[in-house]
Structure 1
């Protein structure tokens, strides 16, 4: 431990500190961390922690046991995720707990090295090693009073870092054995993760590794919701294209004779995918995908169809054509249908369009199943009306009693003549209707594609929306703006696209819409949920890059930050301008 009282910014490897700590200080400086202890650090905070994830479930009893073993000692034990976000903390000493709270080492706060500098959490995650950081070895002066030991927790199947275990005490009571305690707890959590791991995942992992050994190509796998790639695959696709492939992998888990297909990516490129289904007895354990970029499509798996022009919607992609055609056929046969999809994907628009396509003169009624007023009264009123189509919106939000009552009303109506066409919308979470009585009144389920799955339709949707939102204005949209729109992942789907267009129309009261008129968030594809502060910072960087024509040196200068900090933030926020 150094006894030098100079601030961390003035120390170097020639001082009485290890080269390991010195390298961490250098990284901290490059990240722009200021080691001023006059004020507590302003750390990033996330309120909605996912405490249901398997890491937390496996780690909680081990943290409780370690907490009990350390009774009488002034130590705190904490669990963080792989991004240095504190998830849990167990305290034995109220005085120590209060000190930790004062420096925001608490659930929801981020202790990564590039936020607060050298510390037992961020430095361990940065290096992938168990570390022991004592007192003034911390880069930021605000945490010089503490000693902490951190050990990364690895997924025993995938090998990736899942999180970290940290043990913290006051520097005056430091003990190097804290590092061994943290290492032992991390190994115990890894054993718990291994024992709860899926046999299917392990089977798919073996096939994944075998595929990686067979040939030097991009290999991806999906099993039990876990999607992973080899190093070649991680470099092949950008975040948006990879998210698209992940969603397609779910579709490829189903029964099919297809072993090879071409996929058009949101970025505009095309990939050839070889599909290998992995079975565990009679069940599907997962899928292995071997992927190569193809200069031109060699084969297509979709047939050209006549796409019905449903009022209020537009699109010619294979995904939208399939959905529209199947819904029109279901409307013609009056087969009650559940439209399942993400919020804003166009489920209600499709239901209305199919109704109007079938009988444009007949009335349609939409019943909101999440309304504060009586849903039962709304359904009864709809059934007593002359409507030939009833849409039950968000039926997965009904409680068990409402579900039974609405089911009885619909069942009684279906026994009358003529029976109405009943359409329901629900989210993609199939478990929410697992015990639904109402669901038995429907003949089939039709999946509505998310907007990111048919980006080729964005141009047509935008032009339709321009005609609706600005009918008296000569508006157009430039190719550079369309490229940005096609690359974005659209978590809010078409609803978010509408908001985006209205934003652009406000920014550009006249003239063609360009990429510079779009919200900054569209030029970012972060791999995790961003805090409000991070989103603000991301927006400022995107605006600076746009104003500087993509020149990063000029953008860093205009923002007043180091180029290295800008490059790191561009990578962290997934910015593409």
Structure 2
């Protein structure tokens, strides 16, 4: 029996078990899929006859449609001979356009209301390649029995979010649908690539005023790689890596407000200002005007005197800032070099006491200390990249980190990197992010980069991050594994129960700086019991959602997103929490094999199944 058919049969069996027994019946099913089944069930989706709604007021001439059309034209041309259908939806999962490469598949999809105007949100139609992408915030393929409803199981659909690169907002979803037996993993790559192309078109489609602001910001950032550069407009705020490193969110807001006040009276300013920390900074700003429109302002800020602390004197609790490091040698607004700054205190991401996390930090410190080429594995959102950068800069306060996003590496990038790395005098670490997302061409460029770095006499080391779920794939990045000497795996959030309070407080401090906000004991318990398939990044989204309902004060259970409520509500003692974590660890070590996990734990299988249900474990 072909492996793909065997996998589908296992999924069908797991779905049947899920419908009968709940979450524990979905053993072995990916977390994204199991969570979607749960959401669909809780939304009351009928597995036999789901009911959707129709909207006649779609904006078929929207900016999204305008930017998507050339990509859809090319995609349709490239797949003209394939039995599939291409669909574009808005950010509410309503179909705007559908293009049929196969009229036969199109007629079948008509029967399940997969047509312009109809809503394919997960709460309407269950697990599918549109609504589940919207809920998960990532590209998703749903094949055959992976659908929640019976009537969609004849199909396979792969969807990817369309993100506006400037605002970071999800504008719509691109989907390719086919019959289940004709689905290919290549559709996943095809959809993700096309969705990124639409995102680039959204960036280019900005009006003249916004484009003028963006281009001025890029020029200032290119000239001032070691200086903090900001761009502010009514609905846009941009800051380069140096700005994020030097100024915390409260200080960034202060810069914005003061610069906006000054620029209301002058086209150009050069002023000093004192921040709440006592630091004195100089800001140089330019008002950007296009025709009669004021696009915004571009500001360069530099510290004149630093009264907060002397960076030469070690300060307890001061570490590398937990921010997103920029990309280097890639197309886009984030092209820059980051030089770390240790001035502002924060709770470092490396803080934690769970055994798996402490072990990962120790292994990573040792690898970086010996400059061994290191590959860092882990689920999406576990903090792989941030942890590498933080530990490197903790050992090399005067060092430099250079970040390259593998999925966006473009032609000509090598020369940019060569110039950056060959000029390195201080200790430098080159971090290649998400090498599993690199194209075949990108892998060739990264291979040349690693070969060069391995042979250089400059003080340069390199590391890379990869999603551990990609290790079983046939993706091109496998050709790069020979460059590495050490592999370190970062544990997922669900295996760091002891650290959750610390992590929650750090995330709340980031997204609500200066506010008096905390979690109620019940809300913290709910967070503790949820599995967090997208880890810290999803936790940040959940807390942001909660703050919209309760911006200050004590966040209650009902303020959290509904998906957080899918776990067991039982309050666990410390012993029970330790037992639960031990079970999760055993399941991970045995690849989800419950028989082997029970043996490993010295526990009867019946006892293990009872505890899986009691603790709400789905690993």
Q: TM-score, normalised by structure 2?
A: 0.36
Q: TM-score, normalised by structure 1?
A: 0.38
